[in-house]
Amino acid sequence: MKNAIVLLRIAKVWSLISIGFIVFFMIGYAMDPNEPRPVGIEWFELSLFPMGVLVGMILSWKYARTGAVISIVCLVVFYFVEYALKGRFPGGPFFLLVSAPAFLFLIYSLMAHRQSA
């Protein structure tokens, strides 16, 4: 159980960093008058990443498995939408690094469930 608690703490700290980064990014983007506003399918993409991932991570603090699944599903769908629209997956590690706490929350929930059984 000790390993699960350590993993949960790492997930929570990392999720706070990720949430802060996402919020900082969104505020900066919204305040830049030179940035074009999203149109059409871009709104759907934004509902997946960063919003869906953000909501999932916040839920993970109370409901680890549910929040993790929401974040991971949103991330996967975002990747497929990007591939369908642009013919390639998003580049760089940014999306996975920001979403990594969701995977940790999921692993924690599986460990906690197994230990309680």
Q: Is 73 exposed, middle or buried (0-12, 13-18, 19+ CB in 10 A)?
A: middle
Q: Give CA angle at 89 (84, 91), nearest 5°.
A: 150
pTM above 0.85, yes or no: yes
Domain assignment of residue 97, yes or no: yes
CA dihedral 14, 19, 22, 28 (to 10 degrees): -120
Q: What φ, ψ does residue 61 adopt, rounded to 5°?
A: -65, -35
Q: Where in the sequence is the domain holding 71, given as residue range(s)?
A: 2-30+40-116
Q: For position 116, what pLDDT does the model report?
A: 72
Domain assignment of residue 49, yes or no: yes
User: Tens of pLDDT along 18-27?
Assistant: 999 999 998 9
| Band of residue 117 on the pLDDT scale cut at 50, 70, 90 | low
Domain assignment of residue 35, yes or no: no
User: Tens of pLDDT along 35-87?
Assistant: 888 899 999 999 999 999 999 999 999 999 999 999 999 999 999 999 999 99
Give the number of domains in the chain. Answer: 1
Domain assignment of residue 82, yes or no: yes
